[in-house]
Structure 1
Amino acid sequence: MARVAVVTGGTAGIGLATAHLMASRGWSVAVIARDQGRLDAAAEALSAYGRPVLAISADVSDAGAVDAAAERIERELGPIRAWINNAMSTVVSPADRITPEEYRRVTETTYLSHVFGTLAALRHMRTRNRGAIVQVSSGLGIRAAPLQAPYCAAKFAVSGFTDSLRAELIHDGVDVTLSVVYLPAVNTPQFNWARTRTGHGQNAPDPVFDPRLCAEAIHHAIEHPRREVWVGRSSLLMAAAQAVAPGFADRKAAEAWESQLEDEPAPDRAGNLFEPVPGAVGIDGRFGERTKHTRSEFWTSRERDLLVLGLTGAAILGLSGLAAIARVPRRLIARR
């Protein structure tokens, strides 16, 4: 039976890179996005791998539309084995200059889209007691940065929702895996169409990584399910700093204000927050000269747990050794 993967936001950037990788490795792929022109282009490109492809126009902030898409995918491609929640939007602006409508929309597209996609997939996967759901998150969902308050808040919410649902699935004995993949700055077209209100265009701060690395990490989370995956050294360092020294992390985050903005002034953009920006875009953004092209720089929660276990074991052995020395009579130590 064909393996079927669904990618939301699958017509550009990380979503398109993931769709290509899944199709190249024998999966039938469905992509969900808003812009019909890019959906048609994605479907044509993905069909070259020789597997069935389905491109569906839907706004993933609409729960009914997402449910209908899942039903159609099951009917036309077959049982969904993997669902990747990748769609997002942001507003680059100081928090007090963002309107309530913009906060609501970013929440809908970046958080609720993950909720609706997860629940739509789970309705089908639960009956078969198998499947993998991947939440594409960000290092900003661990350590928030200035100028993207609604986006950071939405990504934090994705982790909370996923942790709660994972506990419910464990309780119910449902063998559907939930993974969260935390991403660094990535060379995608998103930086060209984010809504801005700073008088400058949005910049990708170094280090910048290849969308194809993110696709590899997502594919790994499907084939080798892990609770969490951190892509790129910057995501790992953000998680470590937030866990160990959050006050220091606050100060370092404050320094990220300028690095998120282009040097030259530019008109503010309406972006793709409420409507898609038309035109072909592809996988890569405009930061190719600064992009690190590694395909293997990601770490999983399994590796973290093994490291913690090893350090804990070493600490226990060290304390045991000190205790043993403490029990040796002083006269014997003196004779030595």
Structure 2
Amino acid sequence: MNDTQLSTPSAHARLQGQVALVTGASAGIGAATALALAAEGAAVALVARRQERLEVLAGQIRAAGGQALVIGTDLNDAEQARATVTRAVSELGRLDILVNNAGLMLLGPVADADASDWERMMTLNVLTLMHLTQAAVQVMKPQGRGHIVNISSVSGRGAGPTSAGYSASKWAVGGFSEGLRQEVRLHGIRVTVIEPGVVATELTDHITHAATKAAYESRISEMTPLEAEDVAAAVVYATTQPQRVNVNEILIRPLDQG
């Protein structure tokens, strides 16, 4: 669980009256982003499978005077993913910001890859994001405004040994996001892609290829990674710009990442 302390929203909170939905909100970047958006006055729908963690996070937000809705669900199921948007709108009244943060990073060499790792990444990193975005855009278009924030990766800009499958999923996010941006811009909907480098989160815990996991953890142990709050700050920056400004991409790396 994220240890960030939530400050009480002020009268000048920049997202007062807005509703945000954050996926993968039970830990890491998702939890930090939910807290940061709530601190700016947004009501936040918290989405993940680990409902008990979401309840703790929602308690933090409510204790500081914010509003939070817990939606424990399996986003790998397309219908459940779309239903999260429906529920958020039903209970919170609207949807202004969707942060597609849920994802998997299952690194490993192509020759030795478990094909099910590729399928899991493409489902959660790409298809789930697309289903959620479609449902959100259908809500946002009649409102005449909204913001889709897709959490990608530096691996969405380049690839290297052991990242082929993961990079494929994140390149897909970039292509989808740019096509979407061009479609929805005249409906007042903004689209932002955030591409973090190495972040201190649970993401590496899920790597199934043992040798790759060990090598990656050894490499990142030699640098000072980003914190989840650094990525959350990028989300807040993009979503609090004047409506005329669409921050298309934010690339953010640790200072000592090559």
Aligned partners of 1:163 and 1:129: how far apart in 2? 19
Aligned partners of 1:63 and 1:93: how far apart in 2? 26
**TM-score, with length taken from structure 2:** 0.84
Give the number of the structure whose alpha-carbon radius of gyration is greater: 1
- Residue 248 of structure 2, aligned match among 227, 230, 236: 227
Alignment of 1:253-264 (within 5 A): none
Aligned partners of 1:104 and 1:40: how far apart in 2? 30
User: 2:164: which partner in 1?
Assistant: 149
Give the conservation status (yes or no) of the 8 Å contact 1:133–1:222.
Answer: no
Structure 2: segments with no counterpart, 5+ residues: 1-15
Q: Deviations over 1:202-222 (max 9, x none)?
A: 416334111111000011111
1:46 matched to 2:67: no
Give the match's secondary structure for 1:65. Answer: helix
Q: Partner amino acid for 2:196?
A: L
User: 2:139: which partner in 1?
Assistant: 124
Aligned partners of 1:153 and 1:115: how far apart in 2? 15
- Residue 16 of structure 1, aligned match among 24, 31, 36: 31
Give the conservation status (yes or no) of the 8 Å contact 1:30–1:53.
Answer: yes
Does 216-225 or 151-160 show the bigger shift?
A: 216-225
Structure 1: segments with no counterpart, 5+ residues: 239-336
Q: Deviations over 1:25-68 (max 9, x none)?
A: 21111111112222222222222221221111122232211221
User: 1:213: which partner in 2?
Assistant: 230
1:71 matched to 2:86: yes
Aligned partners of 1:100 and 1:189: how far apart in 2? 22
Does 205-214 or 115-124 show the bigger shift?
A: 205-214
Q: Partner amino acid for 1:157?
A: A
Q: Partner amino acid for 1:210?
A: E
Aligned partners of 2:97 and 2:140: how far apart in 1? 9
Q: Partner amino acid for 2:248?
A: R
- Residue 177 of structure 1, aligned match among 190, 197, 200: 190
Q: Deviations over 1:125-166 (max 9, x none)?
A: 011110111011111110112223221110000010111122
Give the match's secondary structure for 1:92. Answer: coil
Q: Which structure is higher in helix share?
A: 1
1:233–1:186 CA distance, 2 compared to 1 (3 A): closer
- Residue 84 of structure 1, aligned match among 94, 99, 105: 99
Give the conservation status (yes or no) of the 8 Å contact 2:46–2:71.
Answer: yes
Give the conservation status (yes or no) of the 8 Å contact 1:90–1:195.
Answer: no
Give the conservation status (yes or no) of the 8 Å contact 2:69–2:88.
Answer: yes
1:46–1:146 CA distance, 2 compared to 1 (3 A): farther
User: 2:40: which partner in 1?
Assistant: 25
Q: In angstroms, what is the RMSD of aligned CA positions?
A: 2.0
Aligned partners of 2:77 and 2:226: how far apart in 1? 31
Give the conservation status (yes or no) of the 8 Å contact 2:28–2:228.
Answer: yes
Aligned partners of 2:17 and 2:202: how far apart in 1? 31
Displacement of 1:4: 0.7
Give the match's secondary structure for 2:231. Answer: helix
1:19–1:226 CA distance, 2 compared to 1 (3 A): same
Aligned partners of 1:12 and 1:180: how far apart in 2? 20
User: 1:189: which partner in 2?
Assistant: 202
1:18–1:36 CA distance, 2 compared to 1 (3 A): same
